[in-house]
Amino acid sequence: MQIIAMLTMLIDHIGYIFFPDDLRWRYIGRIAFPIYCYLLVQGHIHTSSKRRYVLRLFMIAVIAQIPYNLALTPDGWNVVFTLLLSELVLIVLDKLPNLWLGIPVVLAAFVVMDHFPLDYNAYGLLLVLIFRYLRSYWLVLGHFVLNFVYLFYYQWVVQMLSLVPTLLIGLLPVYRQALEARRLPRWVWWSFYPGHLAILAAIKILYFDEWVIMDWRSLFQI
């Protein structure tokens, strides 16, 4: 499952940077993010130290930020920041005596994540929550409803293909268990995101001579 997530994300980013008019790359890339959300939740559940887990996410997000701005967009926060904030919400929800008390927490996080230029914005948080609290058919239904809402409000048509991995995760547990059994070394898994962005940024700059001007102020606009 990790390999699928990494390869489909790489395909998505290659298409975004070098073949922006060919949407087939982006279609394949929709497979990646739900898997990353699912694996984030699994890491949250099974980690021996949530403090170290958060610290690793923070370090990856910081390391990946400049390559992300150079390779993909000059004025946004990379997706690991989205996953990091989602993980912090999960930690807070775990500490509450009643899950319903977490509604204000989720709403506050939703507003913050939808205001700042985070990759996937609050959609990422909602998808993480779906993977955390729903199972089987409810998991697939929750993801479908989320995608339908974003399709209705933002015409996010291509994102409907992200349901494919959720169908496999939710409805084919044997398939999911087989994929989870093949785990990569931690250093490969944790370094791939900033590493592949750095390589793509270098190719973009050296081969295509495309530089971007990063406006750091836009990342903190209130």
Does pLDDT of 17 surpass 80?
Answer: yes
Structure confidence at residue 171 as a pLDDT band (50, 70, 90): confident
Does pLDDT of 180 surpass 80?
Answer: no
Please give the structure tokens belonging to residue 196: 């592949």
Burial (CB count within 10 angstroms: exposed 0-12, middle 13-18, buried 19+), residue 162: buried
Contact 16, 25 (CB under 8 A): yes
Structure confidence at residue 177 as a pLDDT band (50, 70, 90): low
pLDDT in tens, 33-81: 999 999 999 999 999 999 999 999 999 999 999 999 999 998 899 999 9
Structure confidence at residue 213 as a pLDDT band (50, 70, 90): low
* Mean of per-residue pLDDT scores for the chain: 90
Rounded to 5°, angle at Cα 59 from 56 and 64: 125
Does pLDDT of 89 surpass 90?
Answer: yes
Q: How far is CA 55 from CA 60, 87, 118, 188, in A?
A: 9, 11, 19, 17
Write down the pLDDT at residue 31: 96
Nearest Cα neighbor of 6 from 179, 204, 122 is 179
pLDDT in tens, 117-170: 999 999 999 999 999 999 989 999 999 999 999 999 888 899 999 999 999 998
Write down the pLDDT at residue 183: 76
Please give the structure tokens belonging to residue 66: 């400049």
The pTM score is 0.90
Does pLDDT of 15 surpass 90?
Answer: yes
Q: What percent of the chain has pLDDT over 90?
A: 76
Does pLDDT of 86 surpass 70?
Answer: yes
